[in-house]
Structure 1
Amino acid sequence: MTIRAGYFPFRPGFNPYQNLFASALERAGVSVERIAPHKFFPLHAAKRRPIDLLHMDWPDSLFVGRSALATWAKRQMYLAGLRKLRNFPLVWTAHNLIGHDAANADYRRTMVQLLVDRCNAVVVMSHAAERLLRESYRIGDSTQVAVIPHGHYIDTYANVVGRPQARAAFSVGETARVVLFLGRLQPYKGLEDLIDAFARIAREGDMLVLAGPGSGAEYCEQIRLRASAARPQGCEIRVIPGLIPDDLLQLYFNAADVVALPFKAILNSGSALLAQSFGRCVIAPALGSLPEVLCDDGFFGYDPAEPDALVRTLGAALERSDLVDRGLIARDYLRTHYDWTDIGRKVRELYETILK
């Protein structure tokens, strides 16, 4: 039997996750209808497609607008769409429990609960994520919760540039220590904490790079000012807002000694998996899925509730002489444990159970 899955809302953007996921399903024999959200009544439009089930990713855009009026209109269409999906097979992948930087958290949580109430299955990416999901939302007895991991990004991006060439692109010496943050520049990412921690442990010649699309000009300017005020003498803190072209990602990762992702809150992190996919060790709080999902050899976790935990962890990691070896072990671990073909097969098996 060929299963026809609608994948919605399909907005791949600069993150290859949705394309990788859809391709994995197709290799598993699932016919995937990639459904971009319609402006008006998007859930109605998605259900009209020739599909057997609907698999949803991030839902926030369906019920949150840029103004109160837009949010009201989206909410009416969302609620009507959920009613339309009654008794129609529905799967949701819980990338987040609630949207990042979420204003009106109670409202968003209510909207997500309504989605969960309609779901035949919810996909989570770790056992820790399942526990947190069940603590946050009411899960009905008939709703399956399936633990299926996030796939790796190995071979998704070019990775042929060596460390010397990558470091030359940043005009940084071989013995300098380079710390990288790469991802969206957003307040919940803890960038101010990272700047302050780097300033306390940096030696002459060291560099901190903060790169990725910004969440707004005002916040990016705040980060620039914080970096300028905190920069130790003889060191550099480079803020590079904007989308990094795919072929240049290798320069950033291969120039770095470690990747630091000091989230204030997190459930899953594609950025952490991307770093280990490039063979880089990750410094991040031991929150959400991270301790369970990331390779231990390439993960320096810390308790964000402990004073100066980030400072100590960053300083200790940069003193290690085996970061390259640990990073390569992590990359091999991801290749073995988070293969997209296996993920596609597991999701197909989930579809089969809810379509019986």
Structure 2
Amino acid sequence: MLASPLALVDQPYLSSLYGALVERGARVEHYSGRRLRGGGWDVWHLHWPEQFLNRPQRVGVVLGNGARLLWSVGRARRRGVAVVWTVHNLGSHERNHPWLERAFWFLLTRRLDGIIALTEGGRRAARERFPRLVHVPAAVVPLGHFRKPVEAKLDRVDACRRLGVAADRQVVCFLGLIRPYKGVPTLVRAFRDLAEERAVLLVAGRPSTPGLAREVEAAAAGDPRVHLVLRRLSDEEIEDHLAAADLVALPYREVLNSSTAVHALSADRPVLVPAKGAMAELQESIGGEWVRLFSGDLDTGDLEQALDWARRSERSREAPLDHLSWPAIADATLGAYDQAIGHRRRRRERSGGP
């Protein structure tokens, strides 16, 4: 199978998924026109096809990128390749080019042979937004966990020491790429109004724009309890931040799925997430003692209650993630590919066209 993309620096989901597929005997390569022309491919798997719409580029450049992607999808299908989209989002986050985006989704969703949703709610939402998708196979395959082996788990006290945080503090952590829709300045302002002097907020990740970095810095200015690391983190630094956290807070203004939430749960850290998208389904899957929801924009009261919940709630030493094992996810993904391949073949037999 061909994959777009095969890997991303800040996204362990892809390497975990495709590594598990390779272990199941699949041949996986990054998509290119040359590879497609070489033949022998059954599936082209798309993730985040809307990424080009998030870039702050001229309309002509964006239009050209979208046209090339749609042309490539059409060419692949003419060669008998089934095109499958994993529904991470229902649209671009930045909304830079709304009319181009409407046209792009209209055309792409008519050129798919199958979709993979990460939750049942995600499948319903995708079909509601893009009604054409009711005509193609739609599998539900969840995000897998990122749990480390027991011997690789970090000690909280050591992690706090490396981060310059006293181990007796209540640590709230935001982790990941900082983009406008993620609401990080709102989190910082809500935290600053907390009366708890022993609380610490760690904000770690690379802002998507210099302006957003300045906004986060301005929100944090003057409060020594707020620690900012506004850059891309190494894998070791990510694990240190998770190990130090008492609560991972993700104040997103919009969300469908969150690999960061699953990453935090994989480190056995409780998470605070908005009651949007598939987050209620995540709570139901993992448990209310591990996943807490808030409504509307995050405020100081939400954060105060979540800290108290994180401290007082009884929970097992490990979040229950066995159902998110990568071998099981690889098997379900291969099943989704088979459905899409069958759909592609039947459609070609009926119409003789792409």
TM-score range, shorter chain: 0.7 to 0.9
Choose from 14, 18, 31 the match for 1:18. Answer: 14
Letter in 2 for 1:344: A
Superposed CA deviations along residues 122-180 of structure 1, whole A, max 9, x for unmatched, are 10001111121122112245301111101111128994331111122233333321110
Deviation above 6 Å: which 4+ runs of structure 1? none
Count of matched residue positions in the alignment of Structure 1 and Structure 2: 335
CA distance in 2, matches of 1:139, 1:271: 30
Question: Normalising to structure 1: TM-score of the pair?
Answer: 0.86
Residue 56 (1) aligns with residue 46 (2):
yes
The answer (yes or no) to whether the contact 2:116–2:141 under 8 Å persists in 1 is yes
**Residues 20-99 of structure 1 mapped to structure 2, 5 A cutoff:** 20-35=16-31, 44-45=33-34, 47-49=36-38, 50-61=40-51, 66-87=57-78, 88=80, 89-99=82-92
Letter in 1 for 2:270: C
The answer (yes or no) to whether the contact 1:128–1:289 under 8 Å persists in 2 is yes
Relative distance call for 1:323 and 1:14 in structure 2 (3 A) is farther
Choose from 4, 7, 22 the match for 1:8. Answer: 4
Residue 301 (1) aligns with residue 290 (2):
no
The answer (yes or no) to whether the contact 1:207–1:237 under 8 Å persists in 2 is yes
Deviates more, 1:346-355 or 1:280-289: 346-355
CA distance in 2, matches of 1:323, 1:197: 21
The answer (yes or no) to whether the contact 2:3–2:46 under 8 Å persists in 1 is yes
- Matching residue of 1:339: 325
CA distance in 1, matches of 2:28, 2:280: 32
| Secondary structure of the corresponding residue to residue 132 of structure 2 | coil
The answer (yes or no) to whether the contact 2:114–2:339 under 8 Å persists in 1 is no
Residue 191 (1) aligns with residue 184 (2):
yes
Relative distance call for 1:90 and 1:27 in structure 2 (3 A) is same
Deviates more, 1:242-251 or 1:259-268: 242-251
% same residue? 26
The answer (yes or no) to whether the contact 2:247–2:310 under 8 Å persists in 1 is no
Superposed CA deviations along residues 46-98 of structure 1, whole A, max 9, x for unmatched, are 53243112111111245676222312322332332233234531111011111
CA distance in 2, matches of 1:64, 1:185: 14
Relative distance call for 1:162 and 1:145 in structure 2 (3 A) is same
Question: Normalising to structure 2: TM-score of the pair?
Answer: 0.87
- Matching residue of 1:104: 97
**Residues 311-350 of structure 1 mapped to structure 2, 5 A cutoff:** 311-320=300-309, 322=311, 326=315, 328-330=317-319, 333-334=320-321, 336-350=322-336
| 1:321 Cα deviation after fit | 6.7
The answer (yes or no) to whether the contact 1:90–1:119 under 8 Å persists in 2 is yes
The answer (yes or no) to whether the contact 1:283–1:301 under 8 Å persists in 2 is yes
Deviates more, 1:121-130 or 1:24-33: 24-33
CA distance in 2, matches of 1:246, 1:21: 18
Relative distance call for 1:311 and 1:246 in structure 2 (3 A) is same
Letter in 2 for 1:298: W
Choose from 318, 338, 342 the match for 1:352. Answer: 338
Q: What root-mean-square deviation, in Å, do the aligned CA atoms of Structure 1 and Structure 2 show?
A: 2.4
Relative distance call for 1:323 and 1:250 in structure 2 (3 A) is farther
Residue 151 (1) aligns with residue 137 (2):
no
Mind listing any 5+ residue stretches in structure 2 that lack a counterpart? 343-354
> Greater relative contact order (Cα 8 A, min sep 6): structure 1 or 2?
2
The answer (yes or no) to whether the contact 1:113–1:138 under 8 Å persists in 2 is no
Mind listing any 5+ residue stretches in structure 1 that lack a counterpart? 39-43
The answer (yes or no) to whether the contact 1:91–1:119 under 8 Å persists in 2 is yes
Relative distance call for 1:46 and 1:190 in structure 2 (3 A) is farther
The answer (yes or no) to whether the contact 2:2–2:30 under 8 Å persists in 1 is yes
CA distance in 2, matches of 1:321, 1:213: 26
Superposed CA deviations along residues 251-290 of structure 1, whole A, max 9, x for unmatched, are 2111111000000000110110111111110011111111
Relative distance call for 1:72 and 1:139 in structure 2 (3 A) is closer
Relative distance call for 1:260 and 1:160 in structure 2 (3 A) is same
CA distance in 1, matches of 2:8, 2:312: 32
